[in-house]
Structure 1
Amino acid sequence: MDIYTIRKEMTKHNKRLTDLNLRVVYYARVSTEKDAQLHSLSAQKEYFENKIIQNPNWTLVQGYVDEGISATSVKNRENFLQMIKDAEMHKFDLILTKEISRFARNTVDSLSYTQDLLRHGVGVYFENDNLNTLEPDSELRLTIMSGIAQDESRKVSDRVSFGFKRAIEKGTVLGNNCIWGYRKDKGKLVIVPEEAEMVYKIFDMYANEDLGVRAIAKILSESGYRNTNGNPFSFSSIKGILVNPKYKGFYCGNKTHKIDFRHDDIKHLPQDDWVLYEDNENVPPIVSPELWDKANRKLKERSAKMTNSDKTSYQNKYLYSGKIVCGEHGTCYHHTIYRYKSGDKELWTCKEYGSS
């Protein structure tokens, strides 16, 4: 049934939405994967399916469900976007959903998608808001209520930021639980001995054995160490361990800031803005401050030797990277391979000599 016919039936013949022969789907979403939320999602699905099936004028096409996804933006909501694509292919006439905030908390998204759906002959009924986009006067109400939903999302974001700030002030360890060498317990870090042993080896090899990050990664892999996904430790993972102050028993917070609650953009703050202090009670050290400082001095020294174009990317990729210095030009030798018919030959050459 097209929009013109639906509106004619509703206005001239005073028919309700439930009186029309429509192909109907529903959209349900929860923003976290906690048990209570998932129970709510299950209840939403059961409610909408029963509501559609019990109406003899409606035909249940399917349901679209997103779990653990925020409503601030739709770009990560896979099933929501699939629903929009199916609407464009005229697979149904009406979408039932709980409320505007379940659909989108972004005013632009709410208006854009409902208008696009109408262009393809599909309406949306927001049950808790008693708002039906098939009605001619729905857009003004939708604009106002979407703005309210968006502002509520901003308030939630502010409350979360406030909570983070208070947690940082109390020394509660925030962030995810994947801190190698530790497990989190009620806002405190607890050392995992078998993982901590590897962390200590990384610092010791880098600071005292003069090995580079890639060389350490190779040794760890050959020794059978694997990350939580069962893969060898990468360059970035090992470097991340080396620069993390938690390993010397320092609380470290306020390292990032979310620019806008409507987007996922995160700004990494300069170290001067971090909350950083020694706290062996909440963050027990795995290495001594002296070993941590020695490793980080060496890391900075090695980084300073590299040009901006290849800083960190190729640092210590080979055994002699950054270690052979040209006596004439004062620049580091770089690794190169010459290919001959008789076979490949590896050479170390001065960058200045090679470019002259």
Structure 2
Amino acid sequence: MTKKRAVLYARVSTEKEEQEQSLEIQEEIIEQFSNDRGFKLIKPHYLEFGKSGTNISKRPKFIAMLKDAGLKPVPSGSSDMFFEDNGLSPIFDIIIVKEASRFSRNQTEALSVLKELKRKGVEVYFIATNTSTTDDDWEFKLGLYFNLSQTESKNLSVRVKLSKRHNAEKGRYAPSIVPYGYKRIYDENGEKKIVIDEDESKVVKDIFKQYTEAGGHTIARLLNERGILTKSGKTWSDDKITRLIQNPVYIGSPVVMKTKKTNLTDTIRVVTAENERITIEKAVEPIISIEDFNKAQNVRLSRTTNSNKRGQHKSKTDVFSEKLYCATCGARYVRHIGEGKKINYMCQTRRKHGLKQCPSKSIAFNLVMQGLDDSRIRFNSMGNYIQLLTIYEGLQKLIDKNTEIKERIMSEIDKIKADERDTFLFMRDLDKFSRPYELANEELELLSMKHIALEEQFSLIKDETVQRFSAKVKQREVSLKEAQNMEQNEQDLKLLQLHNVLIDDEWVKYCYTVQAYDEVIEEYNRTFGEIVEPISYQSEAYYEETFQRGYRKLITRAEEQEMMNEQYQAIEDLVSN
């Protein structure tokens, strides 16, 4: 009998030295389990060092393992990452993990991945809980374990945030990345300390001194020409100089808690409000005097608030903000107001680093707007209908399954309540300082967490949750019909659908999103994906319109064809004469 091919996946969340042993222990446990079960453990071993389990997109080894299992990532439009069949056969039959939290701390992602792996014929074994995707009730049990792992991670994140805030309020400054101009050392007591870096501090002083006479772009260019790099070993740019100039750490009083994650699984941090930030006075030795720092701020403000200055741009009022991109280098096109208040867009690479880095031409605002006006809105009516039908079918399956799941969850909750009661009664007769009492108390805490997790699962499948989602689907259906009834040259709708504009010296390409139910399907999968099978149907994501660049205008395909016909006619007239 041919042995089943198995691979191991192990993960630790930090790069601390002691975590290396944890990784090795996970490997040993998995290898022993594989031998006991008679599996053939093959390589590669997928080992993740210093990676959080809250988001798959940050775990390259995990993604590589899924690729070897015959899966590929699909766009989701959310912080969660989903996968689908890539058409290739898996190179293994089984994945072995020590426990659910090593596989993932994101319930939505984890269950979606497990379902796709089962479709490919790949089973996953979790040693610590003696569960696998071969079990009949694997979705229910593993859903509970992933929920517990996610809750544990969320609680840890809250504790870390509170600890950071507490340290900041107590005047302790311990940044994860030390600012340019400083370095971290150990003092005579073995304590970490942030002190001035003599070489880098000279550069900081030069930047502040030059800033009153030259702009950030010029300073960045001079530093790059001298071969001076940033803390991360990158070249300097205008925005990096501006951030350095604005950082109050250089007068000894850094501001912390400036960004945060709105959700545990988010990959992007958002800027916090002013009242959430904390200034730590005299946290480090200053490099710049308060007078020089304030002088630089006044210069910076005078350059950005004077409306008569050339190059001013206000992205909040720019309808094409962060939507124009260079076809040559991929950088964004940024708005530039020149003499006579003429609005142009210029490649950011060319603007910062000159023609040698990118030779792309600038483009006038009215040309970009002309292409928008000449474009035609497109709707994928058949695709929308199929998506809508798929959503309603999914909702019907959900309604049919709700009763069954509710009964199962309520039965499990009743059992946990009974276990909690029995444990509590058992503890009453124990010495509070004894080991049996301590173990019973830990068991009671675990039962309480399971109880909470089950209550959360039950809340997901309340009838009113399904009803609210159905109302949202209906609202989307009505809005799409209204959009289709709009005039073809409705500018607001085009701007809403505009994904990006790719600009070349010869042509301009407009990429529009197709109005569809993709976001509704993503919400359905996030909300109900662990209860019923997720919906995988995707619409046509984008459609494109390309215009040739002529002399001070964009030329449509029809105009281009007409010009070619005129040229051919002129040639024929010459020949005939």
TM-score, normalised by the number of residues in structure 1: 0.76
- Alpha-carbon separation, structure 1, partners of 2:52 and 2:37: 34
SS of match in other structure, 1:29: strand
The equivalent residue for 1:65 is: 47
- Alpha-carbon separation, structure 2, partners of 1:67 and 1:56: 27
- Alpha-carbon separation, structure 1, partners of 2:262 and 2:268: 6
Note closer, same or farther for the CA distance 1:70–1:137 as it changes in structure 2 (3 Å cut). same
2:169/2:280 contact within 8 Å kept: no
1:31/1:71 contact within 8 Å kept: yes
State the Cα deviation string for residues 227-279 of structure 1 (Å, max 9, x = none): 34554422222212101001012131121122111222311124454212531
- Alpha-carbon separation, structure 1, partners of 2:164 and 2:128: 32
Amino acid at match of 1:268: V
The equivalent residue for 2:436 is: none
- Alpha-carbon separation, structure 2, partners of 1:221 and 1:296: 23
- Alpha-carbon separation, structure 2, partners of 1:175 and 1:229: 15
Residue 72 (structure 1) shift? 0.7
The equivalent residue for 2:145 is: 145
Note closer, same or farther for the CA distance 1:203–1:123 as it changes in structure 2 (3 Å cut). same
Is 1:260 the counterpart of 2:241 in the alignment? no
State the Cα deviation string for residues 312-344 of structure 1 (Å, max 9, x = none): x9xxxxxxxxxxx97xx7x6999x9xxxxxxxx
Structure number with the higher helix fraction is 2
The equivalent residue for 2:249 is: 246
Residue 56 (structure 1) shift? 8.1
- Alpha-carbon separation, structure 2, partners of 1:224 and 1:107: 47
The equivalent residue for 2:24 is: 42
Amino acid at match of 1:308: K
Note closer, same or farther for the CA distance 1:307–1:116 as it changes in structure 2 (3 Å cut). closer
The equivalent residue for 2:132 is: 132
Amino acid at match of 2:160: V
- Alpha-carbon separation, structure 2, partners of 1:205 and 1:153: 46
The equivalent residue for 1:179 is: 179
Amino acid at match of 1:202: I
1:29/1:69 contact within 8 Å kept: yes
2:173/2:280 contact within 8 Å kept: no
Residue 73 (structure 1) shift? 1.4
Any residues of structure 2 matched to 1:1-356 within 5 Å, and which?
A: 21-52=3-34, 54-55=35-36, 57-62=38-43, 63-88=45-70, 89-185=89-185, 186=191, 188-207=193-212, 210-276=213-279, 278-279=281-282, 282-305=283-306, 306-309=312-315
Residue 126 (structure 1) shift? 0.5
Note closer, same or farther for the CA distance 1:129–1:261 as it changes in structure 2 (3 Å cut). same
Amino acid at match of 1:31: S
SS of match in other structure, 1:75: helix
1:114/1:124 contact within 8 Å kept: yes
- Alpha-carbon separation, structure 2, partners of 1:49 and 1:332: 69
Note closer, same or farther for the CA distance 1:55–1:148 as it changes in structure 2 (3 Å cut). closer
Residue 190 (structure 1) shift? 0.7
Residue 46 (structure 1) shift? 3.5
- Alpha-carbon separation, structure 2, partners of 1:277 and 1:125: 48
Amino acid at match of 2:18: A
Note closer, same or farther for the CA distance 1:230–1:69 as it changes in structure 2 (3 Å cut). closer
State the Cα deviation string for residues 54-78 of structure 1 (Å, max 9, x = none): 4583212222111111001112211
Note closer, same or farther for the CA distance 1:268–1:333 as it changes in structure 2 (3 Å cut). closer
Residue 104 (structure 1) shift? 0.8
- Alpha-carbon separation, structure 1, partners of 2:227 and 2:268: 36
SS of match in other structure, 1:129: coil
2:111/2:143 contact within 8 Å kept: yes
- Alpha-carbon separation, structure 1, partners of 2:47 and 2:177: 27
- Alpha-carbon separation, structure 2, partners of 1:333 and 1:134: 63
- Alpha-carbon separation, structure 2, partners of 1:308 and 1:333: 12
1:96/1:124 contact within 8 Å kept: yes
Note closer, same or farther for the CA distance 1:204–1:133 as it changes in structure 2 (3 Å cut). same
SS of match in other structure, 1:278: coil
1:188/1:283 contact within 8 Å kept: no
State the Cα deviation string for residues 192-223 of structure 1 (Å, max 9, x = none): 1121111011111112xx11111112232344
SS of match in other structure, 1:214: helix
Q: Tell me the matched-pair count.
A: 300
- Alpha-carbon separation, structure 1, partners of 2:208 and 2:143: 56
The equivalent residue for 1:316 is: none
- Alpha-carbon separation, structure 2, partners of 1:217 and 1:121: 54
TM-score, normalised by the number of residues in structure 2: 0.48
Residue 148 (structure 1) shift? 1.1
State the Cα deviation string for residues 96-154 of structure 1 (Å, max 9, x = none): 10100000111112211111111111111100111121121222111112211111111
Structure 2 gaps of 5+ residues are 71-88, 186-190, 307-311, 323-337, 347-551, 553-577
2:94/2:123 contact within 8 Å kept: yes
Note closer, same or farther for the CA distance 1:147–1:246 as it changes in structure 2 (3 Å cut). same
- Alpha-carbon separation, structure 2, partners of 1:139 and 1:297: 60
Using the aligned pairs only, state the percent identity.
33
Note closer, same or farther for the CA distance 1:72–1:231 as it changes in structure 2 (3 Å cut). closer
The equivalent residue for 2:463 is: none
SS of match in other structure, 1:66: strand
The equivalent residue for 2:444 is: none
SS of match in other structure, 2:58: coil
Amino acid at match of 1:58: F
SS of match in other structure, 2:236: coil
SS of match in other structure, 1:176: coil
SS of match in other structure, 2:42: strand
1:177/1:184 contact within 8 Å kept: no
- Alpha-carbon separation, structure 1, partners of 2:343 and 2:268: 39
1:173/1:187 contact within 8 Å kept: no
Amino acid at match of 2:229: R
State the Cα deviation string for residues 150-175 of structure 1 (Å, max 9, x = none): 11111111111111111111222232
